Amino acid sequence: MLVGRVVRPHGLRGAVVVEVFTDRPAERFAPGAVVELADGSLLTVAAFQVTDRLPLVTFEEVSDRNAAERLRGKDLSIPSVERRPLEEGEFWPDELVGMEVVGPSGEHVGEVVDVEIGVGQDRLSIVVGDRTISVPFVAELVPEVDTERRRIVIDPPPGLID
């Protein structure tokens, strides 16, 4: 589960500015907490500082500005070993990113590049050719998610893709 994204480095000692995506930032970024990068590497929070804009986070593994710069734009997630078990039909957003999207007949449509978490419903951002479309993640439009084959079937209404 995504808890934040590194915006940019701050200062010379490895601190980074983080856009927070959790409603419990003080807990998720408490000293000693661990976050995971998309490549599976882990970072341990050394310090969390609230500011009047976005918070600053320092990681034990990041000691200078150059190392902090390499984190720019990286997503920070709860480590997979700490995630709760999912119910049938539930998926972690980062699990869906990169999946192939096909139509009802199996024809290639595109690839999921993001999952927008919403209040009423989530939306899949799908790259189709040279553009990105947004599809509500509801059973009527997304009847099948096959995590083993990394494939999502969509049944879009006329005009959504064209």
- Residues in CB range of 114: below 8 A, 6 or more apart: 97, 124, 125
CATH 2.30.30.240 in the chain is located at: 93-153
Q: Residue 6: what pLDDT?
A: 95
Per-residue pLDDT, averaged over 80-96, amounts to: 81
CATH class of 2-81: mainly beta
Average pLDDT over the chain reads 91
**Angstrom distance (rounded) from CA 46 to CA 48:** 7
- Which pTM does this prediction carry? 0.62
User: What is the CATH T-level fold of the domain 93-153, as seen in this structure?
Assistant: SH3 type barrels. (2.30.30)
Give tens-digit pLDDT for 109-161.
999 998 887 777 889 999 999 999 999 999 999 999 998 999 999 998 888 77
Return the DSSP state at 94: H
Task: Write down the pLDDT at residue 89.
Answer: 83
